[in-house]
């Protein structure tokens, strides 16, 4: 199970309202240093499950019904922030 707090502060990096469909690109620095994976029974840390700070990106797309939904997303653990 996970304990602690995952910190996220997403920022819009590009807006393309002329695209068909319209899209928005979002970038975030995910901070999982205080978010730990532990064994449910003992609450001891799971080896190799250390947290860190890394870049995450997402694309939001405007659908015909008027809703903006995340249509793509990726974590880039090789890109610290």
Q: What is the mean pLDDT of the chain?
A: 93
Q: In this predicted model, what pLDDT tens digit does every residue of 5-42 receive, in sequence order?
A: 999 999 999 999 999 999 999 999 999 988 888 999 99
Confidence (pLDDT) at 68: 97
Confidence (pLDDT) at 22: 98
Question: For the chain, how many residues are written?
Answer: 81
User: What residues does each domain of the chain span?
Assistant: 2-76
pTM summary value: 0.78
Residue 51 has pLDDT above 90, yes or no: no
Binned at pLDDT 50, 70 and 90, residue 71 comes out as: very high
């Amino acid at each position: 199970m996970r304990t602690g707090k995952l910190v996220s502060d997403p920022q819009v990096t590009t807006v393309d309202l002329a695209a068909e469909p319209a899209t928005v690109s979002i970038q975030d620095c995910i901070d999982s240093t205080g978010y730990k994976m532990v064994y449910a029974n003992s609450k001891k840390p799971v080896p190799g499950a250390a947290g860190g700070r890394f870049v995450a990106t997402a694309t939001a797309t405007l659908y015909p019904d008027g809703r903006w939904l995340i249509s793509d997303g990726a974590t880039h653990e090789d890109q610290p922030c």
